[in-house]
Amino acid sequence: MQRVNRVCQRAVPTVTSPASLHPNPVLQRIFASRGVENCAELDYGLQNLAQPDAMRGLAEAGRLLADAISREQRILIVGDFDADGATSCALASLVLTKMGAQVDYLVPNRFDFGYGLTPEIVTVALEYTPDVIVTVDNGIASLEGVAAARSHNISVLVTDHHLPGAVLPDANVIVNPNQPGCSFPSKNLAGVGVIFYVMSQLRKELRLRGWFEDRSIPEPNMGGYLDLVALGTVADVVPLDSHNRILVAQGLARIRAGKTRPGILALLDLAGREQHRVEASDLGFAVGPRLNAAGRLDDMSTGIECLLTTDTDAAFALAGQLDSMNRERRQIEAEMQRSAMSALESVGDLDRGALPTGICLYDPSWHQGVIGILAARVKERFHRPVIAFADGDQGWLKGSARSIPGFHIRDALDAIATRSPDMLSRFGGHAMAAGLSLKVEDLERFGTEFEAEAVRGTDPETLQAVLYTDGELHSTDLTLEFAELLRAVGPWGQQFPEPMFEGTFELVQQRLVGEKHLKMLLSMDSTVIDAIAFNVDTDVWPASDITRVYLCFKLNVNTFRGRTTLQLMVEHLAPQAT
């Protein structure tokens, strides 16, 4: 169950015409609380995408790549080892190939080379004899790597979405909506969204040059790659602003219609998800983790090949490998969580809050590819910014950081690096997640600095885990039809959260399923509803003396053995006095 200090109803600002948002009054309230001011923001047609003109470097990127293709130069894509990087790499490879380019890809193994376009990965890249290197989902912090590539007369196009440092790499062209001077309206594009725009611009440039007509090459339909854009965007947990919602909604529509890559269909099938009912959450919690498992435990090339193949049998074979890796990752993660909890318990009574404000964790046995998930799990449990470390090479530690709302983790690392420039070798990321490297002997000093920064950047309210709801539902809204409506008006995701409701119910039946999941039958105004709460405290539940409960819940459309019913997915559960 989710850790909660308090439950708050989402504020609903006054909007000019809330009824224009949707005829359903509950949906009016939901959309208004998420800052939607007019129904145009809920029109997810491609015509409403932001125009590319404001994206700095985009026109230059199109010309650079068009020149490379027309001169028959070799293009090498250098990716990242997560789902955003994999989808970015696959999209760029597929589109460039369709356009007649000579293209290869290279993804650094995190255990051998670390993140991004490093000088070491440039040395490997030289084996491909590239004329142009295109980074996807990385590169904005690769000052040394870009310099190394250009010293070998290789042109470099950086496409990235991460926050830049004070100094930008000396690339031929940079496309990143977060770089200084870029007025593109959405700063929340994932890496795959950035490369989607770059490939669209390249198509435009080649069209103007008569490339497709002269060579009888069909122009690629960029809409056909939105399944990859949707997957990478959701899996990277970037905010679903109105722009990203268009990209995700369009990608989901194509997946539901069967117009998607065989690899995505295979991953959905292995995860037990129905393709024609797929939601953003399925990409985030079912497909994304399986794809990420390759980069966490081995080499992301398995995931990229799964996305690239057009052969159904090959797709299922590769998806099966990814599924096996994901099961292994879960086992490793469970053991690391036990180790982390044991280490934290040695600090004091966790229930009494005997924890530092900023949590730093390290164990030499931990797996470098799983520390990001570990940091996220500890952050969810204790609502503190967390950095988990694992051994790297030659006395270096690799760290993965996860934060809470109100504490910008990358800015915190930047502040530490400014005060102690000799300590952090490399760092980068977002407000909520970041990565870093430091020497083993500097860990204790870094922990002290991080704690000071966490104390300085938080207050008691920031450290309270708050569960926001969309208020109560009348029993007449507890229906399968309303749950289906909520699915239809998505996508829901980061900073545009799926609706959560609260209410008090009579507890008719309760029993444990699995090891610690509570299956319940609830009643409100004679309406009987099925519900399930995952990972309950088995010292409390089931409890035969509790007959009334207060819940925070989401509406779920549950299909089992061909029967579709409403089910409440319980996020917070508490006894309620009768």
329 part of a folded domain: no
372 is in which domain, residue-wise? 347-457
333 part of a folded domain: no
* pLDDT of res. 458: 96
**One domain, residues 101 and 214:** yes
Q: Determine the straight-line distance between the first and last CA of the chain, rounded to whole angstroms.
A: 23
For the chain, the domain total comes to 3
**One domain, residues 475 and 357:** no
**One domain, residues 251 and 373:** no
**One domain, residues 432 and 503:** no
Please say which residue of 457, 492, 520 terminates a domain: 457
400, β-bridge pairs: 388, 435
Pairing of strands 517-524, 548-560: unpaired
**One domain, residues 300 and 444:** no
**One domain, residues 423 and 536:** no
Measured between alpha carbons, how far is 308 from 311 in angstroms, rounded to an integer? 9
Please say which residue of 307, 322, 337 terminates a domain: 322
Q: If you search the block for the tokens 């299922």, which residue do you land on?
A: 316
Q: If you search the block for the tokens 């430091």, which residue do you land on?
A: 438
Among candidate residues 556, 574, 450, the one with its CA nearest the CA of residue 3? 574
**One domain, residues 514 and 451:** no
Reduced to 3 states (helix: H, G, I; strand: E, B; else coil), residue 157 is: strand
Among candidate residues 546, 558, 566, the one with its CA nearest the CA of residue 475? 566
The predicted model scores a pTM of: 0.93
**One domain, residues 314 and 174:** yes
**One domain, residues 97 and 214:** yes
Q: Is 559 left (phi over 0), alpha (psi -120 to 50) or beta?
A: beta
Measured between alpha carbons, how far is 540 from 571 in angstroms, rounded to an integer? 16
CATH number, domain of 16, equals 2.40.50.460
* pLDDT of res. 429: 83
88 part of a folded domain: yes
Phi, psi of 130 (to 5 degrees): -80, 150
Q: If you search the block for the tokens 């909660």, which residue do you land on?
A: 4
* pLDDT of res. 463: 93
**One domain, residues 227 and 362:** no
Measured between alpha carbons, how far is 263 from 218 in angstroms, rounded to an integer? 24
**One domain, residues 407 and 524:** no
pLDDT in tens, 60-110: 999 999 999 999 999 999 999 899 999 999 999 999 999 999 999 999 887
* pLDDT of res. 5: 83
- Low-confidence stretches of the chain (pLDDT < 70) are 2, 14-21, 348-353, 578
pLDDT in tens, 342-378: 999 887 656 656 789 999 999 999 999 999 999 999 9
Q: Is the peptide bond before 491 cis (omega within 30 degrees of 0)?
A: yes
Measured between alpha carbons, how far is 465 from 282 in angstroms, rounded to an integer? 25
Tell me 217's DSSP state.
P
67 part of a folded domain: yes
Please say which residue of 322, 356, 388 terminates a domain: 322
**One domain, residues 269 and 413:** no
Q: Is the peptide bond before 164 cis (omega within 30 degrees of 0)?
A: no
Q: Letter for the amino acid at 8?
A: C
Reduced to 3 states (helix: H, G, I; strand: E, B; else coil), residue 246 is: helix
